[in-house]
Amino acid sequence: MIRIFSLKQQGKEGVGQASAKKSSAAQLRVQKDVAELNLPKTCRMEFANPDDLLNFKLIIMPDEGFYRNGRFVFNFQIGQGYPHDPPKVKCETQVYHPNIDLEGNICLNILREDWKPVLTINSIIYGLQFLFLEPNPEDPLNKEAAEVLRMNRRLFEQNVTKSMRGGYVGATYFERCLK
């Protein structure tokens, strides 16, 4: 077993040592990730409980592309296996998007098979932001939206606009998400 503290440090009693024991590896890594964040101006983080860094919301407000002027909320839940396991990320805003299904699941490779412990919260934020700038119809979760994007880019843009204003696209109703 590797010991991080020397015997001298282990013998000391105090508040610092007690609080260090309470912080898990995941919490320490998330603290580091959040401290080193370089959020673009189109993103904002919200912590419901400032003492709980493992659960937070990310709001993305694209300023270009199909989704400009939208406001999209993502829920991050980071497990104790982080950074070895990726965070669970769901889109809370229902969106007409080829890579986000109507239940909020996200098709982003670094959230699944391409996750590596060297990746950070910042990597995920930039990945999510990129999905709004360049939707990928070749790797869809929402196959209908992907097909429309592949076949008729103009109709796809109209559907995105209609959904963001609040309205039906096909049989699905979308809540308004314009900022």
Tokens at 137, concatenated: 């119809």
- Strand spans (E) along the chain: 43-46, 55-60, 72-77, 88-91, 167-169, 172-174
Alpha carbons 151 and 104: distance in angstroms, whole number: 24
Tokens at 24, concatenated: 């898990």
To the query of whether residue 91 is one of the catalytic residues in this protein, the response is no
Helix (H) or strand (E) holding 131: helix 121-133
List the catalytic residues: 107
